[in-house]
Structure 1
């Protein structure tokens, strides 16, 4: 982990921001380029100072930079559709570097989570088993409502 953190520390600030927000997704999540780029645009971390370049193209160059620095692995589905994946250790690094601002919680432990006041971005990852029938869905819904009371 210290070597990975050192690699992260040497990234330009805009790439550090882009990488850290990947902590909002579950481990082994398969990112599509548009999904990531639109997240970054929505968060306001992509700036296009070049009037001739679309903001999506700037985002794609950020993604390529992270890929070239080894922060993402690029794979292809049948038919040639590319997707990107974070290695488990890199996902752990993203969780660590974004811990003051981002929090990702899993539905099975939603009751035991204390959300720090510094958290600005929350991701709730729902397991299909938690919403498979009406009873488990109602239990899950009650747990989610309890989050607002913390």
Structure 2
């Protein structure tokens, strides 16, 4: 599965998460367009001008796109959005068929990419914390999953 599949399959997709993913290069314009097109089909969203713009994002220039993105992005908690992507990336590592060593390298990259989140301290191979970094990753996944189960 690719990263966007995790966002979709685990019901983590939201306007802010999709926009953040686009800004990070994890979501392309065609996925963003498709996502916002689906949102427009819901009656409560069909008059949202920003959703309309992003539904046609494949035809917008970067300035038009940024205007709609900024408007949507400001409506969701950045911490929640970042944790959605962090969960998706950790789930992808967990589910991957790569070697344990490659998983540790990927885990270290995620830890760095998200600016060394406190709850992942024990996931680093450089951490003085006890335990297996991958087992600690599974615990972070459980914590993040429970956070989103309660939203």
With normalisation by structure 2, the TM-score equals 0.36
Please identify which structure carries the higher helix content. Answer: 2
With normalisation by structure 1, the TM-score equals 0.36
The higher relative CO (CA closer than 8 Å, separation ≥ 6) is in 1
Please identify which structure carries the higher strand content. Answer: 1
